[in-house]
Structure 1
Amino acid sequence: MASLAAFWRYGVVKTLRKWKAAALSPLMAGREGPVRSSYGVLMVPNWQDTTFRYCIFGTYGRDLADLLLEQREAFVFVDIGANQGLYSLIAAQNPNCRQIIAFEPVPATHDRLAANVALNGGAGRTVLHRLAISDSVGQVEISVAEGHTGTATLAGRAGQSGGGVVIETIDAPLVEPLLAGEHPMFVKIDVEGLEAVVIAELAKTASFARVQAIFYEVDDRWASARDIEARLRAAGFTRFAKYGRGHHYDVLATRS
């Protein structure tokens, strides 16, 4: 029954949402002004981008959105690979979210992130960094696919196409002061294949002890879910919940 439910939820329903986005986007693209997404947050128009359309029509589902809105204790949301800010904006709807720390290294996408944060009145408790977390410090070229900002990657995957954009990367010693604080942290990592690298760098920081939950993307074609889980278990995470099916899915790791 569980597999059937997953097929319906992540196969059928998600596919229907993608079709809806494709069918309705051309009808809405001519409208001016901010657009209210299915998640209740406003976003500046970016209709040529698939990621934006998925945000507007709820293609990503409610898994992470509901987890963020259901947090009952004070927390900090760390959004690594924030893109245009959907989940940062959703976290800001929860009054228990004391601060949002968002990392988005691609300049044009970061500008849209900043505009969306301002549009929703969340600038006062949102800190934006035009940086990528990696295992080195400096400037590197990231591949950004035209028309789908959510697939920007440093992983150099075979078949990945798109224009190169120079971004800034930082490692654990530079990440540490950006995460300093007292509240527990809920971390989202969506970095298109470098999730293990980001987790390894976070684990080197003193602030990692405050991380209570990590929601991260896995694609079995270029990442090892087993290796990531082993690293997190070694760091004190004991519970792992899978969201999705097939080779591309998300995992929520939490401490006891």
Structure 2
Amino acid sequence: MANFSDFWQYGVVKTLRKWKAAALSPITAARSSGPVRSAYGVLMTPNWQDTTFRYCIFGTYGRDLSDLLLRRCDDFVFVDIGANQGLYSLLAAQNPRCRSVIAFEPVPATHQRLAANVAMNGGAERTILHRLAIADSVGAVKISVAAGHTGTATLAGRKAQTGGGVTIQTIDAALVDPLLAGDLPLFVKIDVEGLEAVVISELTKTRAFARIDAIFYEVDNRWANAADIEALLRGAGFTNFAKYGRGHHYDILATRS
């Protein structure tokens, strides 16, 4: 029964959402002017040529992470690593229990849209934006950015994507730590297109890591090893791993006991 449920939710339904986004985007784009309200209820700056934006608008990503953020009932800080245009930062800020949002998005053009989206939704005063990527070194590097799909920007060294690269700034654990200073529990989302293990490894080196009680991270078996990431987190005190999705591309929620 569980396998059928996963097939239906992450196979059939998600595919239908993608078709819906493709079919309705030209119509909606032609009819709309100014900010667009997404299926998740937050406003976003129009960016119709971008697949990630269209998925946000039409709810293609489903409700897994959005429900986790909106239903959390204890005080927390949301750390959005690979924030893109900010869907989950915006949603976290809708929860009054979210005392602050710390978002990392290194690509300049995407970061600009993130800032614009934060400014026109509630919670801007509690949101801190960093135009930075977390990696295992500090400096200016080129990131691969695919034309028409900002969500596939990657530092993971995969084959170059159409659209070329842009220069971004990376920081390591030593520079990340002061950015996460505080006392509240941290809920971390990581979506960095294959660099998840590196980001998690850097987080484990910070003093702030002890305050992380949940990490929601993306896995794509074509360029990431889920077993290695789980082993790293288990060694750092995480014991529960819930899978959201099916096939080679899915998400994991790691929590402590």
TM range (shorter): over 0.9
**What does residue 159 of structure 2 align with?**
158
**What does residue 74 of structure 1 align with?**
75
**What does residue 14 of structure 1 align with?**
14
Which string of whole-angstrom CA distances, capped at 9 and with x for unpartnered residues, describes residues 84-121 of structure 1?
A: 00000000110000000000000000000000000103
CA–CA distance in 1 between the matches of 2:174 and 2:129? 18
CA–CA distance in 2 between the matches of 1:138 and 1:237? 30
**What does residue 204 of structure 2 align with?**
203
Counterparts of 1:119-130 in structure 2 under 5 Å?
119-130=120-131
1:159 deviates by 6.0
Which string of whole-angstrom CA distances, capped at 9 and with x for unpartnered residues, describes residues 177-223 of structure 1?
A: 00000100000000000000000000000000000000000001110
CA contact (8 A) 2:80 2:89 kept: yes
Supply the AA of the counterpart residue of 1:58: G
Secondary structure of 2:151 counterpart: helix
CA–CA distance in 1 between the matches of 2:160 and 2:227? 24
Which string of whole-angstrom CA distances, capped at 9 and with x for unpartnered residues, describes residues 109-148 of structure 1?
A: 0000000000103220000000000000000000100000
Question: Are 1:103 and 2:90 an aligned pair?
Answer: no
Supply the AA of the counterpart residue of 2:33: E
CA–CA distance in 2 between the matches of 1:65 and 1:215? 11
Question: Are 1:26 and 2:26 an aligned pair?
Answer: yes
Supply the AA of the counterpart residue of 1:6: D
CA–CA distance in 2 between the matches of 1:231 and 1:160? 29
Secondary structure of 2:128 counterpart: strand
1:160 deviates by 3.4
Supply the AA of the counterpart residue of 2:2: A
Aligned length: 256
Q: Which moved more, 1:30-39 or 1:94-103?
A: 30-39
Counterparts of 1:39-188 in structure 2 under 5 Å?
39-158=40-159, 160-188=161-189
CA–CA distance in 1 between the matches of 2:155 and 2:185? 29
1:161 deviates by 3.2
Secondary structure of 1:29 counterpart: helix
CA–CA distance in 2 between the matches of 1:180 and 1:140? 26
State the 4+ residue runs in structure 1 displaced beyond 6 angstroms.
Answer: none
CA contact (8 A) 2:93 2:122 kept: no
CA contact (8 A) 2:135 2:170 kept: yes
CA contact (8 A) 2:94 2:122 kept: no
CA–CA distance in 1 between the matches of 2:11 and 2:103? 30
Q: TM-score, normalised by structure 1?
A: 0.99
CA–CA distance in 1 between the matches of 2:175 and 2:215? 20
CA–CA distance in 2 between the matches of 1:163 and 1:64? 30
**What does residue 194 of structure 2 align with?**
193
CA–CA distance in 2 between the matches of 1:49 and 1:158? 20
CA–CA distance in 2 between the matches of 1:114 and 1:225? 32
Supply the AA of the counterpart residue of 2:27: L
The runs of 5 or more residues in structure 2 that have no matched partner are none
CA–CA distance in 1 between the matches of 2:146 and 2:29? 20
CA–CA distance in 1 between the matches of 2:157 and 2:229? 19
